[in-house]
Amino acid sequence: MMQRIAMISALMIGFIASKAFSIQKIDGLSSPYETILTHFDNLASTTQDLEASSRALYKGDLEQEVLEEKAKKLYRIYLGKAIFIEEEDIPKDPNFIDSTLGKNEYHPFSKEPRIYLVKYGKQWLYSEYTVNHIDQIYEETYPIGADKLIDYLPKQTKTKVFGIEIWKYFALFILAIIGSLVYLAVSFLFKNWIARALRKVPGVERGSKLILRIARPISFLIVLGLIKVLFPILQFPVFLNHAVLLTIGALVPLMVTIIAYRTVDLASEYFEELSKKTKGNLDDQLVPLARKVLKTIIITLGAVFVLIALEINVVPLLTGLSIGGLAFALAAQDTIKNFFGSVMIFVDKPFQIGDWIVATDIDGEVEEVGLRSTRIRTFKNSVTYVPNGKIADSIIDNYGLRAYRRMNISLSIHYDTPPELIEAFVDGLKRLVQEHPNTWKDKKEIHFNNMGDSGLSILFYIFFNVPTWHAELEARHEILLSIMKLADALGVNFAFPTRTIHIENLPGQESLSPAYERKPENIKKKLDDFFKSANDEDRN
C-alpha cells in the first residue's frame, strides 16, 4: 500500500509541476485522446480557456455560456471523483470502435459510466447523454454546494505556491481542525454517555471498558467520512484526490474491521455473563470458541475489502485460494472432520464440562472442548486429548447426566445369625436410608435375598441424589460407616469367605450328622404348626 501511495504521490508532484509551469495545450478533436486533453488541459492550466475546453462537449442547442459552465463542472467532477486514466491508455485512433458495443464510443471510466465519448462525424465529443447529465453528476459529487464559494474567493487567495492555490492550504488547516473536533466530540460521547449507560446494563459492567476501545475507531471512521465529503470540494489535482480517496477507501474497511473485531469482545463479555446463569457449562466453552471463529472471519473479510479498496484485483487471489483450499481440504480431511465433530458436540450437547464420560478408550472428566479435540482428565490425573470426530462417532455413556447415582452391594452375615436379628438388621438398614439427606427415598431395595457359600446375603440397592462423583463418594462413605455402626450395635457379624471341614463319624464318638424326621405325618404336623404360628404373628 505504501509503495502504491508513494508512486501516486510522485506522479502527482510531476503532474502539478507540469501544470504549474509548462503545459502544452491540445485543441484537436479527431480522437478520444485529443478530445479528453482538449477539455482537461485548457482548464488545468494557470490561464483557463473555457471556450477551448467547451469544444470537447456536444453542444446541441445549448448556449455557449451554458456549455462552458458544463465544461467547468465536468472538470470539477474529474477532480471530485478522482477520475483519471493514464494518457497512454486513451485511444489515439480516430476510428476507434468499442469492441463490446461495436460503436464509435469510448467509455474511459468504469466508476462513472455516464461519462463517455461518441464520434460525431469526424469529431470525438463528450456524448449528448453525458452533457445532459453533467448537472446531476455534479450535484452528486458536491452535495452540500460549498464548492460554489470557490468562485467568490479573492484573486489573491488563488495565487499558486508549489502548484497549489493558497486558499487550499487554509482549507486543509480548517478541515484538520474540524476533523479533530469531530473526533474529540464522538470520543467524549462514547466515554461519558454510552459507556456510562452500559454500566447499568446487567452483565456488561466490564464491557463498558471495551466500548471505549471501540469509540476511537468509530470516531476516526466518522472523521474519514467527513474528509471524503469535504476534500473533493478543495479541487486538488486528480492524482492528489485519487491518492487521498484511495487512502480513505482503504482506511474505511480497516476501521470497520477493527470495530467489528472489538465488538466481538464486547458481545462475548455479555454472553459469558449469560452462560454463567445457564445450568450447563458447555456454553462457557462455546463463547470463547465462537469468539475465535468470528474474529478469524472478520480479519479475513476485512483484508479482502481493504485490497478491493486499494483497487487490487482479488479475483485471481480468491481463485487461487479456492483451488488451494480444495487441495488443502483433501489433505486435511481429519481436521475438517474434527471441526464438524466439535460443531455437533455443541449442537447435541452429549456432555457438559465436568461430566464423567465413558466410551471406547475414554474414561474421565471433561475439562475443555476445543475446535479440534476434547481434553479429558483421567482418574490417573493425566490429560487425554481425544479428536472430536472420534467422540462424535462414539457411543458415550455420560455418568455426569445421571439424575441419581446407584449404590449396589451385597452384605454377607454369618449363617448362625438368628432370623429375628436378620429382620431387625434389615429394618435398620432401611431406616438408615430414610434418614440420610442425600438418598432417593422412593427407590430402594433392601432384602435378605440369598444364601451364599460363606454367609447369608442381604441386597442393599439404593440411589444417591448428588450432582458430582465426589459428592457420591462422600455419601457412600457415610452410608457404609452407618452400616458398620448398625451391625456393631445389633451384634451382627459379617461373614467372609471360609471353608468348614465337618467330620460326621469318629470312632468311639456320637455321629455329628443331624437326625431327620422321616415319618410323613410328623413332617406334615410340623409344617402346619409353622404356618399357624406365622399367621398368629401376622394377626397380632
Residue boundaries of the structural domains of the chain: 21-141, 166-312, 333-400, 407-490
**Contact of 314 with 242, CB cutoff 8 Å:** no
CA distance 394 to 385: 15
Per-residue pLDDT of the chain (540 residues; tens, 9 = 90+): 334 433 334 334 344 333 333 334 455 799 998 998 888 888 766 567 888 888 999 988 889 999 988 988 888 887 777 676 677 888 889 999 988 888 899 988 877 889 999 999 889 999 999 999 998 888 887 776 555 666 666 666 666 666 667 777 777 788 888 888 888 887 777 767 766 666 555 555 555 566 677 778 888 888 888 887 777 777 676 677 777 778 888 888 898 998 888 888 777 777 776 666 666 555 566 677 777 778 888 888 888 888 888 777 766 666 655 555 555 555 556 666 766 777 777 777 777 777 888 887 788 888 888 777 888 888 788 888 888 888 877 888 887 777 788 899 999 998 888 888 888 899 889 999 998 999 998 888 999 999 988 889 999 999 998 887 788 899 999 999 999 988 888 888 888 776 666 666 667 666 666 665 667 787 677 767 766 776 776 666
Beta strands in 52-200 (DSSP E): 105-106, 117-120, 123-126, 160-161, 164-165
Give the contacts of 517 (CB within 8 A, at least 6 positions apart): 523, 526
Residue 51: closest CA among 42, 61, 41: 42
CA distance 464 to 474: 10
C-alpha 174: how far from chain center: 41
**Contact of 285 with 345, CB cutoff 8 Å:** no
**Contact of 373 with 387, CB cutoff 8 Å:** yes
Give the contacts of 451 (CB within 8 A, at least 6 positions apart): 415, 457
Residue 214: closest CA among 267, 176, 293: 267
Residue 204: closest CA among 258, 277, 267, 289: 267
CA distance 354 to 365: 6
Query: In Å, what is the CA distance from 35 to each residue of 27, 84, 88, 301?
Result: 8, 14, 14, 41
CATH topology of domain 407-490: Alpha-Beta Plaits (3.30.70)
On whether the 333-400 domain is CATH 2.30.30.60, my answer is yes
Beta bridge partners of 397: 358
Quote the cell numbers at residue 180. 479533530
Q: Is the pTM of this model over 0.75?
A: no
Please name the amino acid found at residue 234.
L
Which 8-state DSSP code applies to residue 158? G
Per-residue DSSP letters for 494-518?
Answer: B------------TTS---SPPPP-
Beta bridge partners of 103: 98
Provide the 3-class DSSP secondary structure of residue 433. helix
Residue 50: closest CA among 62, 66, 34: 66
Please name the amino acid found at residue 453.
D
